[in-house]
Structure 1
Amino acid sequence: MFKTTIPALGLVLLSGCSMAPDYQRPAAPVAESYSGAQTTTSNSSQHVPDWQQFYQEPELQALIELALVNNRDLRINELSTEQLRAYFRIQRSALLPNLDAAGNGTRQRSPADLTYTGDSSISSSYQVGLQMPAYELDFFGRVQSLRDEALQQYLASETAQASVELSLITSVANQYHTLLALREQRALASEGKAAARKAYKINKDSFDGGVGTELDLRTAEAQLEAYRASEIAFQEQVRQAENRLGELLGTTIPTSVKASDATLANSNMSTDLPVGLPSELLVRRPDIRAAEHVLQAANAKIGAARATFFPSVKLTAFGGTASSELSGLFESGSAAWSFAPQITLPIFAGGRNKANLQVAELQKQIEIANYEKSIQTAFREVADALAVRSTIDQRIEAQAARVEAARRRNELSDQRFEAGIDSFLPVLLAQQELFAAKQDLVRAQLDRLTSQTALFAALGGGWEE
């Protein structure tokens, strides 16, 4: 029986139809090009480089590799993806009938008033064989739609995993560059403190000699303490940045990184990023692809909800041997089989099926909005990064010129003070301006690196399905 029944069931499976709507990708709700950006139509050779090509500093590459191995958030996402993959395999197995080996025995006593002879009796029955539990023939695609929903959820999680990985990579890079910037700012505060200590000593010697005023002395002293406080504050921020970097890495920071003398100016990153057209973000960005998989899962769920309005057909079958005696199970003539089809047609469910369909359709509308929102967010992130990239070099050039002017002003103020032409106040103002200019230059250099990383991430970070 099973040699003919199983192939027949396979043909029935193939003949099942899906009630899910035909999926149509929503139109991208963004402009065809980025405002103020020069974009070119990309071809197959224009890919965003992977992170090893983009971040060319060996020290930073080593940190990213540590994070990819040890970061706990990434590990949790990986395990969640594997969990959804297992759930998909469970749901997919419902498309095929189960086949179990089963054996059972029954021995019972019937009282006299329940028998035809008027005497009590003891009866026995034993059977062993293969059985197929209730198997749903998927005529209207309910099981197939549930399988498709589970598949899309798994694919969404797998694609989102790439987005989490990209976020981790860029977070490590940004934190590393922030650490370098804080170290440079701490060094500037230390240089300022040294200059302020020298000025304080000059003013103290003048005051002790009866030449200088106490006002100049206390002004120099306040300046010295201000630089000392700034150095301590930057030292605290450096330690906090190291703690944050260690958290991202999931392990301790290598000693070589803590003792490194790397600077922002020496940081080497690829600037050749093919921007292309906004429509290419649909393929480049893993978060957009994940949102589309979630939308496709919602679309499949509608098919499962629609199928509940139609009849459900289930089959139960058994084939083996049966006997009233255990010793007779395998004797000639003990073969037994049963075949029990069951059809269920929904008549009244209090509006539950209709409400479930409405919930599924509304969920799809929600996911369409989420998908469109993810596209708009991606468009804005690319446009923001391009806006910074178009002017950041000019800002750094202006800051560098400001530093040179402040440095010359500081030299002239020192000369006039030492010559007794001016009081210490012009020197104080010149030192403050030079310190502020150098700090702003460091921040501008950090902004350039951060914006390059932001553009790398906004374009998809070299991810390919």
Structure 2
Amino acid sequence: MRHKLMTVFVAGALSACSLAPPLEKPALPVAASYDAASAASFDSNAGTGADVAWRTMLPDPRLQQLVQLALLNNRDLREAALNVAAVQAQYRVEDANRLPKVDVAAGATRQRVIGTNSAGGFQPRTIEESSNAGLAINAFELDFFGRLRSLSDAAFARYLASMEGQRAARLTLIAAVADAYLEQRLAQEQAQLTERTLDDWSQSLALTERLHTAQQRSGIDLAQARGQVATAEADLQARERALRLAHNNLELLVGAAIPADLPDGAPLSQQPVLTTLPAGLPSDLLARRPDIIQAEHALVAANADIGAARAAFFPRISLTAQLGFASPEIGGLFRGSQRNWSFAPQLTQPIFHGGQLRAELRLAEVRKSIAVVQYERAIQSAFREVGDALAGSQTYRLQIDAQQRVVDAAELRERLSKLRYGAGQDSRLELLDAQRQSYAAQGTLLDLRRDQFRSAVALYKALGGGAEG
């Protein structure tokens, strides 16, 4: 009997087929290459930015330690890892349905009964005992039409998609920590710039007060100087607030209190982020972007669901079998004469389900169409993100060079205006305008440097970077 059951199981497994339709990926809904400027900067031997380890991408030692802490403590990343474990368990559940479930059972019964004789009279009470033990297989489905196989394939594809989702969450976290760190560095350097400006303007106010006391400057000049100092004081409070908010945001991403013994961070002028990254070709994104790979696995799962929905129209064959022993005496339970078995195959053919099966098939087909759209949208979004980041990497350097010349010219004008104002050759209004222009030019330069590094981080993320470093 056991050999017959094994033969049936093997035959059922080997004869299973899949009714899932062939999966055809849609053509790339983007151009075959980036714009001419991007293509001109691409070196085919340089690989892509995705090959760059995140430690190489972020050389600032303080930033590296912050990213490492975030990878250990961030709650969103922990949730992504738990989601992977949950989907993996669900896949194991679906895959286990393809195998028979064998249970062992043993039991004993002891009861007192009152019998009757043929005349209707009662017989003396007796004690009856029975024992049983055996192996049982309950309703094992022979997967001739691949229904269980399709469900298992769909669950496995969703498991792979969840793994790519975890990779995407990891890459997003690295980029978010880098952005928050750059925001903190900007707030800190803007606060330092404002402190220097406040000190400089306070000295200018002191000079104006002395000249006013000597009746060499009017009250208007004195009021302008005092208003200028008050403006710098207000700016300083705004910078301090921005610095605290940036610290709080960074601490949230890290997932723990930021240690006090971290190394000092590099200033924005010393390039805490690598800004030169090879982009590769658009087709590279298909193999490197975790969100695109995730969408592709989701498409595979939706396609497998169609196979399971199609198989539901065909008969289901299930087996229930039992092999064991039963005896009125436990001591003789395992004698050969006490052996018993049962074999109960069952065939179920859907006849009328009120259109449910067709609706489920239609639902699976629509969900596949949705998965195709999501896959194409992921590719288009990736292409746009890379293009936007490339545009930034190609223009920020030239813009920063030009802005540095603006700062140099503004600082020179401010120094000359101070000398001329002290000598009584220029009005207070001229000095005020020169000081404000210099302060604004330096603030703009800091903003541009931060934006350049954020653009580089965005390109790294868009290319599917985040390699172990």
Question: What's the TM-score once normalised by structure 1's chain length?
Answer: 0.94
Partner of 1:30: 30
CA contact (8 A) 1:402 1:437 kept: yes
Partner of 1:307: 311
What SS class does the counterpart of residue 347 from structure 1 fall into? coil
Quick check: 1:265 aligned with 2:269?
Answer: yes
Partner of 1:293: 297
Q: 1:371: how far off?
A: 0.7
194, 202, 205: which one pairs with 2:207? 202
1:119-162 per-residue CA deviation (whole Å, 9 max, x = no partner) reads: 88987654211111110000111111110111011110011100
Quick check: 1:358 aligned with 2:359?
Answer: no
Q: 1:86, 1:190 → 2: CA distance? A: 57
Q: 1:327: how far off?
A: 4.1
What SS class does the counterpart of residue 134 from structure 2 fall into? strand
CA contact (8 A) 1:112 1:118 kept: no
Q: 2:119, 2:455 → 1: CA distance? A: 95
1:48-72 per-residue CA deviation (whole Å, 9 max, x = no partner) reads: 2121222122221111111100111
Quick check: 1:277 aligned with 2:281?
Answer: yes
421, 424, 427: which one pairs with 1:423? 427
Q: 1:346, 1:105 → 2: CA distance? A: 40
Q: How does 1:372-451 map to 2 (within 5 A)?
A: 372-451=376-455
CA contact (8 A) 1:84 1:153 kept: yes
CA contact (8 A) 2:73 2:256 kept: yes
How has the CA–CA distance of structure 1 residues 344 and 200 changed in structure 2, closer, same or farther, with 3 Å as cutoff? same
Q: 2:466, 2:191 → 1: CA distance? A: 35
Q: 1:303: how far off?
A: 0.8
CA contact (8 A) 1:298 1:367 kept: yes
How has the CA–CA distance of structure 1 residues 261 and 248 changed in structure 2, closer, same or farther, with 3 Å as cutoff? closer
Q: 2:283, 2:44 → 1: CA distance? A: 11
Q: 1:35: how far off?
A: 2.0
What SS class does the counterpart of residue 456 from structure 2 fall into? helix
Q: 1:43, 1:211 → 2: CA distance? A: 70
Partner of 2:158: 153
Q: 2:25, 2:246 → 1: CA distance? A: 43
In structure 2, give the amino acid aligned to 1:339. F
Partner of 2:247: 242
CA RMSD of aligned residues (A): 2.3
Quick check: 1:102 aligned with 2:105?
Answer: yes
Structure 1 unmatched ranges of 5 or more: none
CA contact (8 A) 1:104 1:128 kept: yes
How has the CA–CA distance of structure 1 residues 370 and 141 changed in structure 2, closer, same or farther, with 3 Å as cutoff? same
138, 142, 145: which one pairs with 1:137? 142
Q: 1:347, 1:188 → 2: CA distance? A: 80
In structure 2, give the amino acid aligned to 1:429. D
Q: How does 1:219-230 map to 2 (within 5 A)?
A: 219-230=224-235
Quick check: 1:80 aligned with 2:63?
Answer: no
CA contact (8 A) 1:200 1:220 kept: yes
Quick check: 1:187 aligned with 2:192?
Answer: yes
Q: 1:370, 1:59 → 2: CA distance? A: 38
Partner of 2:259: 254
Quick check: 1:11 aligned with 2:11?
Answer: yes
Q: 1:267: how far off?
A: 2.4
Q: 1:172: how far off?
A: 0.8
In structure 1, give the amino acid aligned to 2:370. I
What SS class does the counterpart of residue 416 from structure 1 fall into? helix
Q: 1:116: how far off?
A: 9.4
Question: What's the TM-score once normalised by structure 2's chain length?
Answer: 0.93
1:7-26 per-residue CA deviation (whole Å, 9 max, x = no partner) reads: 44123212100111111222
Q: 1:358: how far off?
A: 0.6
Mean CA deviation greater in 97-106 or 156-165: 97-106
What SS class does the counterpart of residue 25 from structure 2 fall into? coil
CA contact (8 A) 2:194 2:232 kept: yes
Q: 1:210: how far off?
A: 2.3
How has the CA–CA distance of structure 1 residues 416 and 282 changed in structure 2, closer, same or farther, with 3 Å as cutoff? same
1:29-54 per-residue CA deviation (whole Å, 9 max, x = no partner) reads: 00111123116585795552121222
Q: 1:235: how far off?
A: 0.8
Q: 1:459: how far off?
A: 0.4
In structure 2, give the amino acid aligned to 1:308. A
Q: 2:118, 2:271 → 1: CA distance? A: 98
Partner of 1:20: 20
CA contact (8 A) 1:109 1:120 kept: no
What SS class does the counterpart of residue 313 from structure 1 fall into? strand
CA contact (8 A) 1:130 1:319 kept: yes
Q: 2:337, 2:363 → 1: CA distance? A: 55
Q: 1:105: how far off?
A: 4.6
In structure 1, give the amino acid aligned to 2:83. S
- Aligned length, in residue pairs: 462
Q: 1:116, 1:301 → 2: CA distance? A: 64
Q: 1:389, 1:345 → 2: CA distance? A: 63
